[in-house]
Structure 1
Amino acid sequence: MIDAGNYRPRRDSPLPGLKPGGIDSLWVRHRLDRTVYKAFNTIHPFALERGGRSAGRSGRIALPVSGTAGTWKGEILWLVEQLGCCAVDAGELHDSWRQQPEMPAYQADFDRAGLRRALTQATLDRRPVLEPRTHEDLDALARRWSPSSQLYEAARVALPAAIAPTQRLRA
């Protein structure tokens, strides 16, 4: 399962059992009893839609993927690349706090080197990077956003291969 969400205590209802400062993706993994990967949570849908570029082109936005190493993580990294972004392995799920709101990597649209640098600059004291008003504005935009046919088509092409990784891996 890919967790693309961002729990924000100021905005969202309390999550039973999630301690203040806890990692929401670990909470999701525990609640669903499933393997969870954190991805697509650092990019705003507008940027994902306009930011996809073919491999080798300049200006590709990098996206972190956190979770257990293995075939499925490789598939998610591959999916990020297929959608026109640079995939960056951001470590295990317990490291996913580095890509959460208020961290340097969040909605910064970095290239691969910039994203790696931002992930290492994240600190547990979680000093805000975006002002609360900016979060409110982005949340309001996200509620009104509707993906274009271009983004739907990119996902339609990439997702069937991601759903059947053993077929793709044999090819």
Structure 2
Amino acid sequence: MEIGIIGAGNIGRILAERLARAGHDVSIANSRAPETVDASALSTGATAVWAADAAQDADVVIVSVNFGQIAGMAELIAKAPADAVVIDTSNYFPHRDGVIDAVENGQVESEWVQEQYGRPIVKAWNSITTASFRDKAMPTGTAGRIALPIVADDDAQRAVGMRLVEETGFDAFDAGVIADSWRQQPGTPAYTTDLTTEELPAALDRAQRNSSARRRDLMMAVYQERVQADGKEPDPDRQLALTRAMF
């Protein structure tokens, strides 16, 4: 498939490397010039392009930017073919992204993203930390392989997202429609807790919508407390333990 990735941060770079290795024709763009894209993203054959060109002629467009940048991506997404699958990896953190009133007033994050783009999206790869995404990919069928939830309103588009998740080294779990995507957002038991296919359904079921934002903010407060106490960010294992402890 022709895959365009908008966003060359931690997740975007790994996606470019793995999806190109899987045999896809991958283009990746950041907010600057193609020559500024990190070489690691291009190590298996992906091509760096200008952001204005990333979505053109793509079968799949993956947007991997901070939630606060989503509205600014609409012009780029409009360049994608009408039948292109658009996948969003973002999460809303108001301390970083600024307060978005619609989300604060109860709109599901991914529904808000769809409104900005004026087209359906698939939500994937938003429920895993960079460290786990980088270090814990496993071949299909490996015991203990981490499962990632994927949601979309269109069954065929969800299937595309699931295929690509599998190709990046994780079990793909069909988590339903966009209206239920809040179950895999920050502050829920499925978010960055590295669960298997057997464990993930119960975690999604345990999610509590009316408390997820509060738990998201608590998670960030605990994380920052550890940074201040230790003088550095928690290592990946400590970060995972802190997140799991909340649930």
Give TM-score scaled by structure 1 length. 0.74
Q: Select which of 198, 202, 206 maps to 1:121.
A: 206
What do you get for the CA RMSD once the two structures are aligned? 2.2
Corresponding residue number in structure 2 for 1:35? 120
* 1:135 CA displacement: 5.0
- The worse-fitting range, judged by mean Cα deviation, of 11-20 and 69-78 is 11-20
CA distance, structure 1, for counterparts of residue 126 and residue 222 of structure 2: 16
Q: Distance in 2 between matches of 1:90 and 1:43?
A: 15
Question: Alpha-carbon deviation of 1:71?
Answer: 1.8
1:1-80 mapped onto 2 (5 Å cutoff): 1-15=86-100, 17-80=102-165
Measured at CA, do residues 134 and 52 of structure 1 come closer, stay the same or move farther in structure 2, by a change above 3 Å? farther
Post-superposition offset of 1:56: 1.1
* Larger strand percent: 2
Larger Rg: 2
Q: Residues 135, 7 of structure 1: CA spacing in aligned structure 2 closer, same or farther, 3 A cutoff?
A: farther
From 133, 144, 160, give the equivalent of 2:221.
133
1:96 counterpart residue number: 181
Using the aligned pairs only, state the percent identity.
34
CA–CA distance in structure 1, aligned partners of residues 187 and 223 of structure 2:
9
Shift of 1:102: 0.4
Structure 1 unaligned blocks of 5 or more: 142-171
- Greater RCO (CA < 8 Å, at least 6 residues apart): 1
**1:2 positional shift:** 1.2
**TM-score normalized by the length of structure 2:** 0.52
* Runs ≥4 residues deviating over 4 A: 134-138
Q: Give unpaired runs (5+ residues) of structure 2.
A: 1-85, 234-247
SS at match of 2:199: helix
The letter for the 1-side match of 2:220 is: P
Aligned letter for 1:79?
A: L
- Following TM superposition, by how much is the alpha carbon of 1:131 offset from its aligned partner in structure 2, in angstroms? 2.6
Summarize deviations over 1:27-53 as a string: whole Å, max 9, x none. Answer: 110111021111111001110111111
The CA deviation string for residues 4-43 of structure 1, in whole angstroms up to 9 with x for no partner, is 1101223321225444232111111011102111111100
Q: Deviations over 1:94-138 (max 9, x none)?
A: 100000000000000000111111001101222517632345579
Aligned to 1:148: none
